[in-house]
Every structure is written in structure tokens, then in C-alpha cells.
A and B are shown apart, each in its own frame.
Chain A
Amino acid sequence: MTEASNVELKIWRGDAKGGELVAYRVPVREGMVVLDAVLWVQANMASDLAVRWNCKAAKCGSCSAEINGYPRLMCKTAITEYGQQVTVRPMKAFPLIKDLVTDVSWNYEVNKQIPLFTPSEKDMSSSEPWRMQPNDVDRVMEFRKCIECFLCQDVCHVLRAHDLKSAFYGPRFMVRIASLEMHPKDVLDRRPLLKGKAGVGYCNVTKCCTEVCPEHIHITDNAIIPLKERMDDAYFDPLRSLLRMFGGEQKPGH
């Protein structure tokens, strides 16, 4: 074991009415992550320090915060990564409840608006187990890795800077819709949703979400851009518009 050293950990303390950064000196143990340090402060210096965490192994996505300004999971960030001074703030894109805990309930409301996985009648009524080739499911596997830490939502400027939660579902739910749309057995057309309430058009492909994803999901390249293409294909393809004009093709979603 190396000699114990200290780190100055500044944690944002307060609620919706206001607050401040409070500094704590934390003895560093080998292999300590930011979450360990925060929990050490809670057990030894500030018993009412509010923080969410569960698995402590980057599998549940509970301990999201902004560490030295960067949206990360506290359980996956070594305390030594930022030297002697570490500042932890709550996610900024969501209303604050207390200290490091924010109100992320909006995300759960959005999820309810996305129609469930919908297989065909034939598949549903078949008594045989489904056959799907590994190649056919590989594509959605990536999206299903999402641990709902909401860091992508936090960093998305449409939600963070412009607070357009009423117009855009955010990267997490683009990933969710992609996982349904690209599922080999799903038959529902979610393009009207993408164009309408989900607002995929709001994303202008800055890839910030991809950069912060702890599961390394290629959110922009593999989920959002293909979804944009699907929607464009249905609504903004000039040839198809012409066809529709002459009644040759129906609008999507009908």
C-alpha cells in the first residue's frame, strides 16, 4: 500500500433554493474512486450528504455527476485522475433535489411515451421459439447496453442549454427507439413519433452524448443518424413526395 495522502474534494451542497461548494479533506486509499470519497465524507463528515448510488460497478447508472465539469459515473472515476483537487456537482440538465441528487423523473415519463416492442401477429401467435441469427441481433445489442445513467441527456445541449425537453426526447431515448426500430422482430413504424414528439430533428450531431457514454455506445453514429435517415427517407425524400402527390404511396404511419 502506498502512503495515505489527502485530496481536497469539493462537493456541491444545497437544494433548489441555492447552495455552495463545500470542501472536504479525504484520505486517499489505493484504488479509490470518486464515489468512495463521497461516501467517506457522508459517513465521517456530512451524514446528510445526498447522493445516489447502487452497484458501485458501473452497471446500474445511478451515480452520475459532473466531476471537474465532466459528466461521469462517480464509481468509475479514480479519485487520483484529477490530481489533488476534485470538484463534484450534480447533473445540470435536471432540477436539483438536494446535493448530488437531481430529479430525473422526466426521463421515465418519456419512456412511457415510446410504444413497446411490437412483433407481428404471426410471430406472436407462433408456438415455436423464434429464430434470429446472431448477425441480425448484433446491431441492437449495442443499444441494449444502455444503463440509463442519463449522462447523455445531461450533456445534450438541446436539453441542457435550451431546456427543450418538450420538443426532444434526448439521446437516451433515441437509443431506446433505435433498439426497437432495428429489432429484427419489431414491426411498428415509429417514424411519425421520431418526426413529431421525439424530435429527432433537434439533434445537430455534435456527438457530445457519444463522448460521455460510459457504455461506449455510438449514440450519434449508430442510433441517431440512422434514425434521422429513416425519418428523412419517409418524409423528405423528393421522389417519394412526388409519388405521394400522385397517390402512389401512403404517408408513413398509416
Chain B
Amino acid sequence: MSVAPSYETVETDVLVLGAGGAGLRAAIAAADAGARVLVVCKSLLGKAHTVMAEGGVAAAMHNVAYQDSWEVHFADTMKGGKLINDWRMAELHAKESPERVLELERWGAVFDRTWQGRIHQRPFGAHTYPRLAHIGDRTGLELIRTLQDRAVHTKGVDVHMEVTVFKLLKEGGRAAGALAYRRADGSLVLYSCGALILASGGAGKMYRVTSNSWESTGDGTALAYDAGAQLRDMEMVQFHPTGMVWPAGVRGILVTEGVRGEGGVLRNKEGERFMERYDKERMELSSRDVVARAINSEVLAGRGTPHGGAYLDITHRKPEFIKSKLPSMYEQFLKLANVDITKQPMEVAPTIHYAMGGVRVEAETGATTLLGLYAAGEVASGLHGANRLGGNSLSDLLVFGKRAGDAAGAFVKARPTATRTTIDQAEIDAAIAELMAPLDHTAGESPYPLQAEIQDVMSKHAPIVRDGPELEAGLEKILELGARARSCGTGGSNTLAFNPGWHTAQDLHSLLVNAEALLRSALERKESRGAHARSDHPRTEEDLATVNYVVEKTDDRMRVRAERQPPMPAHLAEVLQQSHARYTPEATE
């Protein structure tokens, strides 16, 4: 296209990218602080990946186990994250999540109850006490619906659905806007804003077998990186131990940890309860990194199920119990795999689930290293360290969504004229030209096989257990794919109207930035810790427990450097040292 297409300019105080739990909670907070808020999301409202969260939201409310406290939750989170977590985030999270859960209830969320009428809490992997407030196995749906209804009824909040942001814009070193296209008709929008909150989720789509939807292409991390913000812990991606493996069409779809929380056991094809050999104490409710690697090892040792996984069995529970506690799992297996989980075991294998790493944020505010840019939820990093505990994601969204919204609201209040920005026209034109390029050479390589190739490279070269030479080879391939992606087409059509081929071509860049950052950071971390296991560095190095790897764009190149965390204050160090509490979940039937 010779003439740059025109765009509409929309002005707002706070622009929120993403309408999952973090984005919606942030939007409500920023609006409560008096800001005009615009939420932009790639899908329809209420469809964000948060709806897939099943098991629950972790909050030390001690409704089921009176011994629970924020201190225990803090220690569980730090230990589960293998100590590289941002300790201040872990502290805030443990202290504030009960308040955020109770607030949801006051906004209309309906949690499962105990017989005394309190919010029920279920046991989950690596949580010392039963801690997950839940609604059957559809906690995420309840959370997003409650926040969605609250947000659309909050004065000052507006939502633009099915809009994809492809570039962040700056003015004088401050995040000042974003360029986006509407998926329905390809028309362009320039959002001009006083502050911007990234709440765009993870990047699971860089792998073939994932529990993530098409949306999880790591846009937020890529946008922030391109704009000059720092990323952190990018080597840390979580394999959820239990994804479906069969039939092929459903491979990767999540099987909630709630199955194990409600008593489900893992067995290999010989019928052995193999977790005994990997974590005798916590068994199936060990942390996710341990369980995922255990299943992987069983398969590699030839003890896997026919489709290359393990058996997850809950048939010892009564059918009515299973159907009431795990209704969507029951439905999911019956419909998609023709397996009745009240009578037959499920076949499961690890699936890419969550990015612990992401944009580097400041604990209290979610502020990134770029002025005016905030991040919360999966796109941000720090809380989960090297491994996330189940249930800590939903609480993360609520606690840090609110904090980022509060901070962005206060930031724009202090700069009332900041929304009227003057952004460099040349920068806008260049970004638009890049966006439109695939439409100009539609006959170029199709983005669909390119995306599949990225997924294959990552699955092969950055699997559950990594090693240096494989990572090196993977990096080389990803850089090569980067060059091909820059000149790719749309798969054949040059229409602007709802053209998924063109949209997929845009997603490639985000996937590639995430993949490159993962590989480079994984090469730097020469040890095994949490989700990052290396066969050539199998030991956990004590000295690296306070080190994070930070990714940054300098001189147009991706650079990774180690950074040491400030020492933990005495009161937290003491909490960590004293926590040895162990709790074996008992049958509550």
C-alpha cells in the first residue's frame, strides 16, 4: 500500500490491554480512582483465558484449616517458586488475597460453601492447608463473570472488543498510547492515553501442546519489550502435569489439579502409584514442576500409558461426589474422549500452561521500567518465581490487578493533560506499514505453517527437561524463523475484513520475541530450578536463589543479564525459616 491507511484517534485516561481477571480488576480500580478507562481485548468480553481456570483462588482465609495464615501462604509461594520470587510481591499477595476474594463475594460471586456457611476451601498442590476458594471446577468463569458485570456497570469504564494492539507508542520516554486494528474490518485505531496497563496474559501458543487458547501469543511481553521495558524470568514456563492426551484433537486441554485435590491418584501403566518415588511426602499434591517431571520420566522409562501419559484415577470416589465437585471434568471427558471418569481413569500428560516470567514490575504498583506502563497478571513476572502454585494465579489477578489499577489511576490524576499526546508521526506510519505488509505480498509464506514451525521448535528444543546444545540449536532456528516471519504473507487473501490469516501473521512477532527471550534466558540459567530443568546442569545452585535473569532490548538486540535481588527483610526470612507445617488432606466426603 502506497498511502498509509487512516486511523481513528480515541483518547482515554487509562488504557487496559486485556479483559481477563487482571485487566477487569485493574479497570474497576482505575475507574474507582476517578479515571476514564478503556479496556481493549482481542476476543469478546468474558472469553479471556481466565474462564479456563478451574481449581480455585488461593487465599489464606482459614475457613477449612484454622491454622492457615498469610505467613504460611507466603512461605508456600516462595518455596514453590524455589525462592527466586519477588518476596515483596509474595508478601502482598498472601496478605491481600483474602480481602480480594471476600470483595468478589460482595460483588455477587457465589462460592461453594462449608456446612457452617463460609466459603469452602479445597486442598491443592504444594499448599500446606486447604486454601482454594472455588466454585466446583469453574472458578475462573465465576471470577470473570463477576468482574465483567461489575466493570460494565462501573462509571467511566468502556470496552472495545475484538481489537488487537500491535504497537505501544511513547512520548518523551513515557508510554502514551497504542496502535490497534479492529478484527472485524481491519480498521485502525490510535489510542492516546495517560497510562497503560498490560493485562494480556501468557504465551502458551509458542508450544504445540498447550492448555492455552489462540489468544495467548505473548503480545504484552512483546509490546513491552519493543517499547523498551524490561522482562524477567523468561525461562520459567510451567508445564501443567495433567493435560488431556487423547484423542489427538484435544491434546493439551487442561485437566484441573482439583482432580488430585479431591483425591485423584496418578498411576503408570503397571498400576504403580509412582509419585511415591518422586515426593513421598506430598505425593500427587506435590508442586507442579515435580509432578510434571515425574510423569515425563515415567513415560521416558517406558512406563507410560498407550498414548504417552499417566493414568489419573478418581474412581474410588462416589459418582455423585465426582459430578458435584468436578462437573466440567466429568462432562469434558465424557464428551471429548468418551471416558466416564466415575468409572474409568483419565489419561494425562504435561501441557504448557503458564508463564511465570514476563514484564518486570515493581511490587507495590505493577509499574514496569517504562514510565506510565503498568502490568498485572500472567504478563507480569515476580510473584511465582520458578514455579507457580495452583490457585495463585487467580489471586494474583485480583491482588495485582487492583494494585496496577490504583497506581495507574493515581498516575493520570497527577498528570491531567497527559492524555493529549503528540506522538511522532513517522513512528506511527512505520508501524502501520509493518502491519499492512503481509496484505501487500499475500503470496508470501503462509503464517499458519510458520506458527506451527515455531511451536515445533519450542517443543523440541525447550521441552520439560532442557540442555545447552538443544537450546542453542533452538535459538538459531527461532532467529531464522524470525527472518522468514518478517516477509510472510497472509495465506492468500488480502481482505481487511475478519482475516485470521493476516491476524496470525501479526501474532508471529509476539511469539518469536517470547521464544527468543525464553531460549536466551534458559541458556543463561546454568542450573535446575523449578520449571527450568537442565540435564547438563542438574543441580540447584544455592547462589542463584536470589538471581533473576532480566531481558532488555539494547542497540536493537536482545540482551540477558543476571540481577541479584535485594536481601529479604528479617521478618520474612524468619517466616520462611519457621515454616515446616505439613498437612495431609483428609477425605471430606
Contact = CB atoms under 8 A, between A and B. Distances in A.
Contacts of A124: 106
Interface in A98-157: 98-99, 101, 104-105, 108, 111-112, 116-117, 119, 123-124, 129-134, 137, 140-141, 144-148
A145 B138 contact: yes
Contacts, number: 175
On chain B, which size bracket covers the interface?
35 or more
B9 to A, nearest CB: 22
Given A54-B214, A57-B253, A117-B149, A137 B110 contact: yes
B184 A117 contact: no
Nearest to A149: B47
B116 interface: yes
Interface in A46-63: 47-62
A134 B115 CA distance: 7
Contact of A51 (B248, B336, B452, B500): B500
B423 interface: no
A42 B448 contact: yes
A36 interface: yes
Contact of B497 (A15, A55, A57): A15
On chain A, which size bracket covers the interface?
35 or more
Interface stretch (B188-196, B363-371, B487-495): B487-495
A61 B491 CA distance: 27
Interface SS majority for chain A: loop
Given A108-B152, A131-B118, A134-B113, A50 B332 contact: no
B117 A29 contact: no
Interface stretch (B38-46, B408-416, B550-558): B38-46
Contacts of B136: 141
B249 A133 contact: no
A147 B142 CA distance: 10
A132 B116 CA distance: 8
A54 B501 contact: no
A33 interface: yes
Nearest to A50: B498
Contacts of B447: 47
B444 to A, nearest CB: 12
A49 B500 contact: yes
Contacts of A137: 110, 113
Nearest to A108: B45
B102 interface: yes
Interface of A: 15, 29-33, 36, 42-44, 47-62, 76, 97-99, 101, 104-105, 108, 111-112, 116-117, 119, 123-124, 129-134, 137, 140-141, 144-148, 180, 183, 186
Closest 8 CB pairs of A and B: A31-B247, A47-B491, A117-B108, A47-B501, A131-B117, A48-B493, A50-B498, A43-B448
23 contacts: A30-B249, A47-B446, A47-B493, A47-B499, A54-B213, A56-B253, A57-B336, A59-B52, A59-B140, A116-B107, A116-B108, A116-B153, A117-B108, A130-B117, A134-B114, A134-B115, A137-B110, A141-B110, A144-B135, A144-B141, A146-B145, A147-B51, A183-B110
